[in-house]
Amino acid sequence: MSLTRALLLAGGVVAAAAGCSSVPNVPPSGSVVPSEGKVQVASSLSYTYEELIAAPAVAWSLKGILDNSLDQLPILRTPLVLYFVYQPFAPNWSVEEAQLDGETYYVRLLAKRFRVGGDGEAMNVLKRRAVQLQYERGYAGYRIVDYSEGIESSTPVAQRYSHGIVQLVRAETAPGRR
């Protein structure tokens, strides 16, 4: 049996076994793959759902890495796979927001895992969303009350994030939009 078929079979068995257990609810705006929960393989060994889904793709893409040159790797010979991993036409940042009260919003930005540039855009994206909220809600301005950014070190690829709290300001209290 070839390595690809063996990995697909193993992935199918794991998916079927995981489907029989209780899977935590996925929020509507969240990922299709739950970030919580694990599959216990042995008493001291468990895997997250994300690791189980990524394992066959990683094994397939690294097949032959020690035997062949880089241009002979299957992942580099299949441009369609690279296109779906890189997603060149997708926006660099995804925006999630939650209204904290009538005038205050929490905004979280997540960068694409694979991108070229765009690391310094987070504040501009946050300001752009604050301006959109300001005009949609009919406010005179906005204030960025809190802002931070960082990198979530997750497997297999780290992801840049940023989040801030935006407060919309009425005309009588707006000293000028910032």
Confidence band of 173 (pLDDT split at 50, 70, 90): low
- The C-alpha atoms of residue 58 and residue 131 are separated, in whole angstroms, by 41
Average pLDDT over residues 148-169: 89
> Which DSSP category does 113 fall into?
S
pLDDT at 166: 96
Strands 141-152 and 159-169: what pairing?
A: antiparallel
pTM for the model:
0.52
- Please give the span between the terminal C-alpha atoms of the chain, in angstroms, as a whole number: 63
pLDDT at 41: 75
The residues spanned by each domain of the chain are 3-86, 93-173
Whether the predicted pLDDT of 18 surpasses 90: no
CATH classification (class only), 93-173: alpha beta
Mean pLDDT rounded to a whole number for the chain: 76
